[in-house]
Chains A and B, each alone.
Chain A
Amino acid sequence: MLTIPVSHGLLLAGILFLLGFVCVLVRRNIIFILLGLEIMFNAAGLAFVAAGARWGQPDGQIMFLFILTTAAAEVSIGLALVFQLVHRLHTLDIDQADGMKG
């Protein structure tokens, strides 16, 4: 069976995390920001799975299940926020929602 070195898995996780984060930073559309967040979740999950494979333990995969659950909960809240945004400001542009400033 072909084994993938753990460093490759972690590297891929890092790249995915960074891509997701860049998506959060540069996109103004709130839906893309939520997508970026999803990618970051999955990057973290991938890192857990890679680490679990490295030590031959199931903990990594269990942790990934937790992350999936959290992500699902997060998405439901995120979509509620999208609805509110559209409802109140009639836009998906997150920069329009800057009312709370000092």
Chain B
Amino acid sequence: MELLWLIPAWPLLGFLILTCLAARLPRIMAGSVGVGSVGAAALTALLMAWDFLKHQPGRNAFTQHLWTWLDVAGLHLEIAFYLDALTLVMIIVITGVGFFIHLYSLGYMAHDQGYTRFFAYMNLFVAAMLVLVLADNLPLLYLGWEGVGLCSYLLIGFWYTDPANGYAARKAFVVTRVGDTAMAVGLFVLYNQLGTLQIQEVMQRAAAAWPAGSTMALLTALLLLGGAVGKSAQLPLQTWLPDAMAGPTPVSALIHAATMVTAGVYLIARTHGLFLLAPTALTITAVIGAATLLLAGFSALVQQDIKRVLAYSTISQLGYMFLALGVGAWSAAIFHLFTHAFFKALLFLGAGAVIHALGGEQDMSRMGGLKQKLPLTFWTFLAGAASLAALPLVTAGFYSKDLIIWQAFASPRGGLGFWFMAVAGALLTALYTFRMVLLTFTGPARTPVHHPPGLVMRLPLLVLAFLSLTAGFLETPHSLGHMRVFSGWLHTCLPEAGLAAGREAYEILFELLAGLAALCGIFGALRLYHPLAKSRYSLPESLRQYWIKGWGFDSLYDRLVVRPYIHLAQFNKNDFLDLFFVFLAWLAKTGHQTLAATQNGRLRSYAWGLGLGAAAIAAMVVLL
């Protein structure tokens, strides 16, 4: 247990080594440091998990105080790590999936100029993400939160010679910053009202100070929700994630699928005590999640770029998690986060293998026929896709998504409306997932294969495919064995969702319907997009364009915010606040010129000056 601090320290050390020795490290060393540090963190995390399960610490949590960070005027902040079931799940996901993605990057980035720089950023990211989930107080969490934002920026703009990548990086940074600002304000309000920022303490004091439904609780919950919405790319701040695909594919897998974007879900689950005091905020969370999952699902359906399909799909799956959080199904949200990390990382890595094999081609209309040429990639990708589409019984995605769909109806906060949106989302998910699979892997080959994936790229695919299929058996519904390993474990730190009265009877019916929706989606995709399919239904072009552009949010924000701001900036080019200082400079300059003109070298004008001065003094003496 005392080695907890090592988990974030390993990747941080890796980052320091890679940065300080950058050019002097041979490639092979840089790769081993980059992968090894995360591997060491993963091993330490497993050790922690074993230790934690063996000696259940008191109150189901373990806190490690390292040192005092700040101690000013009553604000006492510590660098302290807090380990409970929720954190443990997160660190296992981050270090485990992170390790396999790092391993994969060895192959994917092998011929890249910025090999060392890539691993340095990735290690820094993993360190920041671990600080985020291990943080015992909110400012430390915020440090990790900003750290992952910074790394996301650096890695989206990793190939910085293309201005479009730099633009995407800035967009991601600025848009998430909107949410981060809300979160920072939330922290200020919490400290102002409760006098502490230690997370557990905050929840205890909030419960004592604020009655359920009070304005203060609602305000702080909404501000924290703002941060979560920005980081997790939910409506209305979702626009950055599709553009974030400009980064290398392992980055998309690690940051924009498995870990960073789930930080918002983690934040809400971590501060659930606060959200429980503000039922309105929870309802808003659920509505945001449900709306986002549908909107992103429709957009994913029409994208041509394989990575953008996956990006919208990530937004949509995060929408499921927000929906689950909003209806109070905390452990279901975390369970979906857990399985999603595996299958979405797998899909990104599979897509990366395809892109790598085709020499950088990302357009699905120019892929096809890869089933024979990249069989391993195909089968593993298919496993990930089946899991994303929630193919009943055999995939992890089925168990986690099904749990959310069921809770969206059955939880006391849920209802038929949420259930319906979730099921419609499941249908859409299956449809776009298999559209992607069919367009990429079947039909005639359109681009020749250059580099088939090597061993270091195949191994992560296999491991993640295995996990995508089996991780779901940790938690199965009543009707299917009723395993409760995951939620039983999480309920040591998150409250149980509970069921509304009289709804358990419908469980089998609703599960069948949800399963049926997924099957319908898959079947629909086969009918519509299989190369041998006869029916060719295409959407109206204008609607298709509208969805491709993500429901026009970009142009809306462009008009509402970006352009007015640019106009304002141009209007105020000669900054009007600056006028005062410009005036001061003008005054000094003019005064100098005037006084210099009196220094004309003529004796007689000096004499005039003398005379007038004397006269003035005399006049003053006489008159005053």
- If A101-B599, A102-B596 touch, whether A21 touches B604 (CB-CB below 8 Å) is no
Note all chain A residues with C-beta closer than 8 A to B607. 21, 24-25
User: Residue B601 at the A interface, CB < 8 A?
Assistant: yes
Stretch binding the partner chain, chosen from A43-51, A53-61, A65-73, A90-98: A90-98
CB contact list, B572-595 vs A, under 8 A: 595
| Cβ-defined partner of A95 (8 Å) among B595, B599, B602 | B602
| Cβ-defined partner of B604 (8 Å) among A94, A99, A100, A101 | A94
Rounded to whole angstroms, the CA-CA distance of A46 and B599 in the bound complex is: 34
Rounded to whole angstroms, the CA-CA distance of A102 and B602 in the bound complex is: 11
Shortest B608–chain A CB gap in Å is 6
Inter-chain contact B604/A95, CB cutoff 8 Å: yes
Rounded to whole angstroms, the CA-CA distance of A9 and B595 in the bound complex is: 40
Q: Nearest CB to that of A98 among chain B residues?
A: B601
Shortest B486–chain A CB gap in Å is 86
Note all chain B residues with C-beta closer than 8 A to A33. 603
Inter-chain contact A28/B604, CB cutoff 8 Å: yes
| Cβ-defined partner of B611 (8 Å) among A25, A28, A98 | A25
Most chain A beta carbons < 10 A, residue from B596, B598, B604, B607: B604
Note all chain A residues with C-beta closer than 8 A to B113. none
User: Residue B479 at the A interface, CB < 8 A?
Assistant: no
Note all chain A residues with C-beta closer than 8 A to B602. 94-95, 98, 101
Q: Nearest CB to that of B603 among chain A residues?
A: A94
Shortest B224–chain A CB gap in Å is 65
Shortest A66–chain B CB gap in Å is 22
Shortest A24–chain B CB gap in Å is 6
Shortest B609–chain A CB gap in Å is 11
- If A21-B611, A25-B611, A102-B596 touch, whether A97 touches B604 (CB-CB below 8 Å) is no
User: Residue B600 at the A interface, CB < 8 A?
Assistant: yes
| Cβ-defined partner of B603 (8 Å) among A21, A97, A102 | A97
- If A98-B602, A99-B601, A101-B601 touch, whether A25 touches B608 (CB-CB below 8 Å) is yes
Rounded to whole angstroms, the CA-CA distance of A21 and B599 in the bound complex is: 21
Q: How large is the interface on B (under 10, 10 to 19, 20 to 34, 35 or more residues)?
A: 10 to 19
Note all chain A residues with C-beta closer than 8 A to B611. 21, 25
CB contact list, B82-124 vs A, under 8 A: none
Shortest A23–chain B CB gap in Å is 11
Note all chain B residues with C-beta closer than 8 A to A102. 595-600
Shortest B617–chain A CB gap in Å is 15
Number of residues from A at the complex interface, CB < 8 A = 13
Note all chain A residues with C-beta closer than 8 A to B595. 102
Rounded to whole angstroms, the CA-CA distance of A94 and B607 in the bound complex is: 12
Note all chain B residues with C-beta closer than 8 A to A94. 602-604
Q: Nearest CB to that of A24 among chain B residues?
A: B607
Rounded to whole angstroms, the CA-CA distance of A28 and B602 in the bound complex is: 10
Q: Nearest CB to that of B595 among chain A residues?
A: A102
Shortest B592–chain A CB gap in Å is 10
Shortest A91–chain B CB gap in Å is 14
Note all chain B residues with C-beta closer than 8 A to A25. 604, 607-608, 611
Note all chain B residues with C-beta closer than 8 A to A101. 599-602
Shortest A80–chain B CB gap in Å is 16
Inter-chain contact A98/B608, CB cutoff 8 Å: no
Rounded to whole angstroms, the CA-CA distance of A4 and B420 in the bound complex is: 123
Rounded to whole angstroms, the CA-CA distance of A24 and B608 in the bound complex is: 9
Rounded to whole angstroms, the CA-CA distance of A15 and B596 in the bound complex is: 34
Rounded to whole angstroms, the CA-CA distance of A97 and B599 in the bound complex is: 13
Rounded to whole angstroms, the CA-CA distance of A95 and B602 in the bound complex is: 6
Shortest B293–chain A CB gap in Å is 77
Q: Nearest CB to that of A95 among chain B residues?
A: B602
Note all chain B residues with C-beta closer than 8 A to A95. 602-604
Shortest A53–chain B CB gap in Å is 24
Note all chain A residues with C-beta closer than 8 A to B596. 102
Rounded to whole angstroms, the CA-CA distance of A88 and B603 in the bound complex is: 17
Most chain A beta carbons < 10 A, residue from B597, B608, B611: B611
Rounded to whole angstroms, the CA-CA distance of A33 and B606 in the bound complex is: 13
Q: Nearest CB to that of A26 among chain B residues?
A: B604
Q: Nearest CB to that of A96 among chain B residues?
A: B602
Rounded to whole angstroms, the CA-CA distance of A102 and B605 in the bound complex is: 14
Shortest A32–chain B CB gap in Å is 11
Chain A 1-37 interface 0/1 with B at a Cβ cutoff of 8 Å (1 = within):
0000000000000000000010011001000010000
Note all chain A residues with C-beta closer than 8 A to B601. 97-101
Rounded to whole angstroms, the CA-CA distance of A24 and B595 in the bound complex is: 23
Note all chain B residues with C-beta closer than 8 A to A24. 604, 607
Rounded to whole angstroms, the CA-CA distance of A100 and B596 in the bound complex is: 12
Most chain A beta carbons < 10 A, residue from B595, B599, B601, B608: B601
Shortest B88–chain A CB gap in Å is 79
Note all chain A residues with C-beta closer than 8 A to B600. 98, 101-102
Q: Nearest CB to that of A22 among chain B residues?
A: B611
CB contact list, B552-588 vs A, under 8 A: none
Q: Nearest CB to that of A99 among chain B residues?
A: B601
Shortest A48–chain B CB gap in Å is 18
Note all chain A residues with C-beta closer than 8 A to B604. 24-25, 28, 94-95
Rounded to whole angstroms, the CA-CA distance of A98 and B598 in the bound complex is: 12
Rounded to whole angstroms, the CA-CA distance of A99 and B599 in the bound complex is: 11
Shortest A67–chain B CB gap in Å is 18
Shortest B49–chain A CB gap in Å is 82
Q: Nearest CB to that of A18 among chain B residues?
A: B611
Shortest B87–chain A CB gap in Å is 74
Shortest B329–chain A CB gap in Å is 83
Rounded to whole angstroms, the CA-CA distance of A95 and B604 in the bound complex is: 8
CB contact list, B347-378 vs A, under 8 A: none
Q: Nearest CB to that of A100 among chain B residues?
A: B601
Shortest A92–chain B CB gap in Å is 13
Rounded to whole angstroms, the CA-CA distance of A97 and B603 in the bound complex is: 8
Note all chain B residues with C-beta closer than 8 A to A21. 607, 611
Q: Nearest CB to that of B599 among chain A residues?
A: A102
Known interface pairs A25-B607, A98-B600, A102-B597; 11 further A-B residue pairs with C-beta atoms within 8 A, sorted by A's residue number: A21-B607, A25-B604, A94-B603, A94-B604, A95-B602, A98-B601, A98-B602, A100-B601, A101-B599, A102-B595, A102-B600
Q: Which residues of A contact B (CB under 8 A)?
A: 21, 24-25, 28, 33, 94-95, 97-102
Q: Would you give 30 A-B contacts (Cβ < 8 Å), ordered by A?
A: A21-B607, A21-B611, A24-B604, A24-B607, A25-B604, A25-B607, A25-B608, A28-B604, A33-B603, A94-B602, A94-B603, A95-B603, A95-B604, A97-B601, A97-B603, A98-B600, A98-B601, A98-B602, A98-B603, A99-B601, A100-B601, A101-B599, A101-B600, A101-B601, A101-B602, A102-B595, A102-B596, A102-B597, A102-B599, A102-B600
Return the 5 tightest CB-CB contacts between A and B, nearest first: A102-B599, A101-B601, A98-B601, A102-B596, A100-B601
